């Protein structure tokens, strides 16, 4: 029985932040010291980001409100909504993204309808409400009232991995299970003006987006590339507990992102990979550089630089992560799903290709996964039988 991610789709809010324009807004805020202004310009300019998306429509230059809450476009001032006000917007806008991504993922999965879904796993660390997004998806898509629902909240940027690992466990236990995994993050709700370096760094990086995947072991027809979920592992580094954190404040959630994080990753990334690579003897023997695709969570440009240098990866292998960062910014848990979609959408060179994926979060936690991209269009046997051949090939290594 092979557990496979059969479809993966993404969704983003309509409002786009252009990085230089956002930089100028943040740098012009009253109360910034000269050092703060320099930090804003340095962080925004070195982030390797061109555009990001935000659910805060007020951040659009064309949006006008008589009672602005987050941003007054007429004065150029960033405002200070309370945590409740931010979370109220999350309740509305996150629900829209959760449902949009879920709808797209199910529509893209041939042979599966909302009525087939047995489990829904939702992920977010940027807001709370109950009945939650898992409930909203079930109701909006007309799923059975008996669907099992799970929500992974406040885990951070690595949370897509526990969600996919749970989906695999459900499918391993029940070969007829169909699991819908949906992550949606509205990080931009919590940005603010400040002289604090962590806050400035977060303002230069974080963005909003959602991703959804359908995971199952069912015998389904082939409509495109898929991912076999091979192995997952989690590792806590021996240091870094205070270097990355996500706390709730009176004026939104507060990010702690110490500049030492890239150094922690540099020191411990090889060791964090060892439990995952132990599942594949050839890879454990040091041949991990032969893995074609690397889906690295782009927590920031410096983190990607450290991973590339420490693991000896090529520039091409980091393209999916860097392009995701450039076009979308850091969307917390949803981001690595965007990277995986980038890889899935690339033309396949072989009928099965290995992917090593990883993300980092509070703790400091390193989540990793080994996947196999299977592309039935390269197999001469057509249709469903072609995908089954590719899956069998992937299972046999």
Residues annotated as catalytic are 157
The Cα 384–Cα 138 span in angstroms is 29
Give residue for tokens 């499918």: 171
The Cα 354–Cα 372 span in angstroms is 5
CB neighbour list of residue 284: distance below 8 Å, 6 or more residues apart = 274, 277, 278
The Cα 168–Cα 370 span in angstroms is 13
The Cα 159–Cα 141 span in angstroms is 24
And the tokens for 39?
């930090």
Task: Detail the DSSP E strand segments found in 131-186.
Answer: 148-153, 178-186
CB neighbour list of residue 26: distance below 8 Å, 6 or more residues apart = 40, 44, 78, 193, 200, 203, 204
The Cα 164–Cα 354 span in angstroms is 17
Torsion from C-alpha of 377, 379, 380, 381, nearest 10 degrees: -90
Phi, psi of 108 (to 5 degrees): -85, -5
The Cα 110–Cα 393 span in angstroms is 22
ω into residue 131 within 30 of 0, thus cis? Answer: yes
The Cα 144–Cα 117 span in angstroms is 8
Helix-helix angle 160-173:335-345, to 10 degrees: 70
**Contact at 8 Å (CB) between 141 and 202?**
no
The Cα 86–Cα 96 span in angstroms is 16
């Amino acid at each position: 029985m092979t557990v496979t991610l059969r479809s993966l789709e993404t969704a983003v809010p309509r409002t786009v932040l252009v990085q230089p324009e956002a930089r100028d807004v943040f740098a012009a805020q009253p109360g910034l010291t000269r050092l703060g202004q320099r930090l804003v310009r340095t962080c925004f300019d070195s982030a390797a980001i061109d555009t990001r998306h935000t659910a805060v429509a007020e951040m659009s230059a064309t949006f006008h409100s008589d009672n602005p809450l987050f941003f007054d476009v007429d004065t150029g001032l960033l405002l200070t909504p309370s945590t409740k006000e931010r979370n109220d917007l999350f309740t509305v806008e996150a629900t829209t993204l959760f449902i949009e991504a879920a709808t797209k993922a199910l529509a893209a999965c041939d042979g599966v309808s909302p009525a087939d879904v047995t489990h829904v796993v939702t992920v977010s660390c940027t807001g709370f409400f109950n009945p939650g997004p898992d409930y909203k998806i079930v109701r909006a898509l007309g799923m059975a009232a008996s669907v099992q629902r799970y929500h992974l909240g406040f885990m951070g940027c690595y949370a897509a991995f526990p969600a996919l690992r749970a989906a695999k466990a459900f499918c391993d236990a029940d070969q007829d299970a169909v699991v819908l995994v949906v992550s949606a993050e509205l990080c931009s709700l919590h940005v603010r003006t400040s002289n604090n370096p962590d806050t400035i760094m977060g303002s230069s990086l974080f963005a909003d987006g959602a991703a959804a995947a359908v995971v199952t072991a069912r015998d389904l027809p082939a409509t495109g590339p898929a991912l076999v979920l091979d192995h997952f592992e989690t590792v806590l580094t021996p240091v870094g507990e205070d270097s990355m954190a996500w706390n709730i404040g009176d004026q939104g959630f507060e990010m702690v992102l110490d500049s030492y994080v890239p150094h922690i990753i540099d020191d411990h990334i090889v060791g964090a990979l060892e439990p995952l690579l132990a599942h594949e003897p050839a890879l454990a023997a040091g041949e991990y550089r032969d893995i074609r695709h690397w889906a690295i969570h782009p927590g920031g440009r410096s983190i990607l630089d450290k991973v590339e240098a420490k693991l000896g990866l090529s520039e091409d292998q980091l393209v999916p992560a860097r392009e995701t960062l450039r076009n979308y910014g850091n969307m917390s848990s949803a981001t690595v799903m965007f990277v995986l979609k980038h890889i899935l959408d690339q033309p396949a060179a072989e009928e099965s290709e290995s992917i090593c994926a990883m993300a980092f979060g509070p703790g400091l936690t390193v989540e990793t996964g080994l996947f196999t991209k299977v592309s039935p269009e390269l197999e001469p046997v057509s249709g469903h039988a072609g995908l089954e051949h590719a899956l069998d090939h992937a299972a046999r290594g």
